[in-house]
Amino acid sequence: MPREQALTARKQRNAALIETMLLAAIADGSVSQREIQTLLRRVIERPEFEGTSAQELNALVESSAQRLSEATDLQVVLASLRSRLPDHKNRMLAFGLAAAVAFADQRATKLELGLLKTIQAALGISEDEVAQIIDIIEKGGSLSEALGEPLERLYAEVMVLVSAADGQLKEAEARALVESLAADPAFQEVSPERAQGFVGEAVAALATEGLPRRLQVLAHGLTTHKQRVKAYRLATKIAHASGKASPAEQRLLELLQATFGLADDEVARLDKGSGA
């Protein structure tokens, strides 16, 4: 029963995300090809839709479009969206996806901007959060950072995955990891308390979601080659901190290499630089 409830909640949330994007697409009465392409691209890049087949996605879009076409009161639609988006992070994601569609043609129309304002109010998104989301969208970036997934959080998770490769992450290992974070230039703007929070969140996510799922999240969150190289370099630093990487740590490094699409010669240089 809990699994069925979780699957139902996931489907309802994803339908709400699609409907919010469709609202932005139809706000000015015409849906451009670029808006549809943006909708599909943003859906594909989000981990919330992992495991959804093309057929299921098409059915979800069609059913969402049908539901909106039959709606007669926007406030009822917005109330339904809010009820199916379980927390603020999901509501921020819905707004971000809608904004991405609205700005797909480089400039949102007055009608699209008006709808975004309405969605913002209905979902309780602050002005600061809106500004951050719009700034990221205009720069062509990922929504992960605006959703509380800054790069430092993802870098920390890579290091946690390596530390926990041969079993559970022990308290002493967690402390050592936080010290490593504090000493690395990538985390110079991160307080020790926040670094500890990153580690705790990563450990909890690994325990509840499993390694394959977290690798998918890292692949979606670390979108540039430079970010992936930095993440792998941090991983090798942890793996070789006490000398030679263990077999389990080496397997994890190989998974990260495949996940990030790094070439063998590039990985060899990074491993050498970490003392392998």
Residue 8 pLDDT > 80: yes
Q: Which of 255, 249, 253 is nearest to 270 (CA)?
A: 253
The residue count of the chain comes to 276
Q: Domain check: are 135 and 155 in the same one?
A: no
Instruction: Tell me the pLDDT tens digit for each residue of 38-50.
Output: 888 888 878 778 7
In the predicted model, what is the mean pLDDT of the chain? 85
First to last CA, the chain: 48
Q: CATH number, domain at 196?
A: 1.10.3680
Dist. CA 35–CA 26, nearest whole Å: 10
Dist. CA 208–CA 179, nearest whole Å: 25
Instruction: Tell me the pLDDT tens digit for each residue of 245-262.
Output: 888 989 999 999 999 999
Contacts of 44 (CB under 8 A, 6+ apart): none
Q: Which of 101, 110, 94 is nearest to 28 (CA)?
A: 110
Using a cut of 0.75, tell me whether the model's pTM lies above it.
no
How many domains, the chain?
2
Domain range holding 71?
2-147
Instruction: Tell me the pLDDT tens digit for each residue of 166-225.
Output: 776 656 566 667 777 778 887 877 777 778 778 887 887 788 778 888 898 888 788 889
Q: Domain check: are 127 and 10 in the same one?
A: yes
Q: Domain check: are 164 and 242 in the same one?
A: yes
Q: Which two tokens stand for residue 186?
A: 């990538």
Q: Domain check: are 30 and 125 in the same one?
A: yes
Stated as kind and residue range, the H or E segment containing 260 is helix 247-260
Instruction: Tell me the pLDDT tens digit for each residue of 79-116.
Output: 999 999 878 888 999 999 999 999 887 778 899 999 99
Side-chain-side CA neighbours of residue 30 (13 Å): 6
